Structure 1
């Protein structure tokens, strides 16, 4: 008997994926072991300005006329049930890597994996339409892409952008004395986990995930920032640990100052914590002085985000200051 795909109006996209969004990333510790020793790092005098050295969000190569090319790729399994919203979220997440290094997206190509016998192709069209709409909002061209028949649905983009090579945002640019600003609230991970388990829809999470990091990137550059990263699958603590390690400083987080989406705390209390979040926390625990912070707060700080905000080592308009960088004192991360 030939297997037929279910009707589009009855499909919950998240039920076709083992994980969801950036929570389906390979765990950070295992990933670092895989890429250790591979070529691609930058070196003095090289035109490769940002490579594999510290795990920056995108690669950056200097070209002629005082410009630099930014290149990145990002894709993941469904994070929400609505295919159009999933497309928008995945596109915003991929574009974020360019903004995180201070670039402007120029052109993107789609990356699509689709289970042909399990999901109607009309849903794939909705996914692609969502990605196209967000790319258009970013003034980024979309020019084709690549698709495969895949047992699990996956979507994202490979994005190329432009940047000023003398005004990049780097993960190793942190210095003691700089404040830490966060452009989006945390909590989409636990809300997405609840959505997948119950079908409840959280409009505040969708709005956050589909908001471009363009304005935050521009504000960071205008403020003279030279250090930033976006907060995605490794959680705030994971990405901040990478920043602190690369910069040779200790990152101090003021727990009470960190903003969260409505419903995030309730989701943690009700047990909607992904395996990715727990792996993030296990990875940073040896480098974390959590002080007297409650376990609920620590889990939220490690929450695996999808299309999260920019974490910037500078004060930027509209973004709360959540901590500061201080001279390294034995712990890469410290909560107060």
Structure 2
């Protein structure tokens, strides 16, 4: 089925499928989870994964992530979804150990051999991470969906977390932005963007290891809530203001063109609306703000600290009237 366009079988795609952050926080605010004494990272600030101390210098990391197709090629879809799920473990400073597949498939519409290609992509990327894939769960679904539940290990003394940011720290970003608008264009036109696929299938392992080795203790990955959304959560949790130097932020080739041509997802616009009350954007152009809020899939790590090879895009400063400043 060389003419198969997987993205046409789902309403949304990738991390832009996420429930809007404001709606999600309203739902979670009513939950009162049981308190476990050894829970080191929970749901308080919306960190990327849960972390529980097992013993001494060993902690268990647990996360889950899945979404509808973000690209048409099933093998690439599997690779992207797996890299995205593994990223949550790296984002808290852990190393993935074992993963379970999560597959929803419209078996009366799409051949099961196509699902096999999705799973093959996931297994290949997990293998690059040194992470075993040991089964999983599947359902007959109206839309194709794929992802993983991942378990990893971390050193409790070297965790990366949202609430550990401090004024004076630089902000580093390990991947360029723009996959959201490029994926929207791909879904609408079928045009393929190899740079976006390469970015989304690149593991955040090296960036996470560099961050922990450099002594960083505050980070997040940039996914469905966009750079501004995830940075807002970090600044709020850490009690600081985050300043972004717009001209320093790297973008994928043709990302700006995609924005100008109108390929902006509803998720990206909702991201910008969510942070707007907490944002001093000065004279920043709307095009730049939309790119900064672009809903990423398998984006890079945003680290409070300098890491080799990653551009510094801003800094954390003492808390002011707004949690975010773009200049």
Q: Which residue of 1 aligns with 2:38?
A: 47
Q: Which residue of 2 aligns with 1:5?
A: none
Do the aligned partners of 1:83 and 1:123 also contact (CA within 8 Å) in 2?
Answer: yes
Alignment partner of 1:327 out of 303, 318, 323? 318
Tell me the secondary structure at the aligned position of residue 70 of structure 1: strand
Asked whether 1:12 is paired with 2:5, we answer yes
Q: Which residue of 2 aligns with 1:201?
A: 192
Q: When the two structures are superposed, what TM-score results if normalisation uses the length of structure 1?
A: 0.96
Q: Which residue of 1 aligns with 2:166?
A: 175
Tell me the secondary structure at the aligned position of residue 10 of structure 1: coil
CA distance in 2, matches of 1:284, 1:65: 39
Aligned CA-pair RMSD: 0.9
Q: Shift of residue 40 of structure 1?
A: 3.7
Residue deviations 1:48-67 (CA, integer Å, cap 9, x gap): 00001000000000012420
Tell me the secondary structure at the aligned position of residue 79 of structure 2: helix
Q: Shift of residue 78 of structure 1?
A: 0.1
Asked whether 1:318 is paired with 2:309, we answer yes
Q: Which residue of 2 aligns with 1:224?
A: 215
Q: Shift of residue 38 of structure 1?
A: 1.5
Asked whether 1:93 is paired with 2:71, we answer no
Q: Shift of residue 39 of structure 1?
A: 2.9
Can you give the 5+ residue segments of structure 1 that lack an aligned partner in the other structure?
Answer: 1-7
Asked whether 1:25 is paired with 2:12, we answer no
Q: Which residue of 2 aligns with 1:102?
A: 93
Q: Shift of residue 101 of structure 1?
A: 0.1
Residue deviations 1:244-303 (CA, integer Å, cap 9, x gap): 000000000000000000000000000000000000001000000001111100000000
Can you give the 5+ residue segments of structure 2 that lack an aligned partner in the other structure?
Answer: none
1:102 and 1:40, CA in 2 relative to 1: closer, same or farther beyond 3 A? Answer: farther
Tell me the secondary structure at the aligned position of residue 78 of structure 1: coil
Q: Which residue of 2 aligns with 1:3?
A: none
Tell me the secondary structure at the aligned position of residue 166 of structure 1: helix
Do the aligned partners of 1:194 and 1:267 also contact (CA within 8 Å) in 2?
Answer: yes
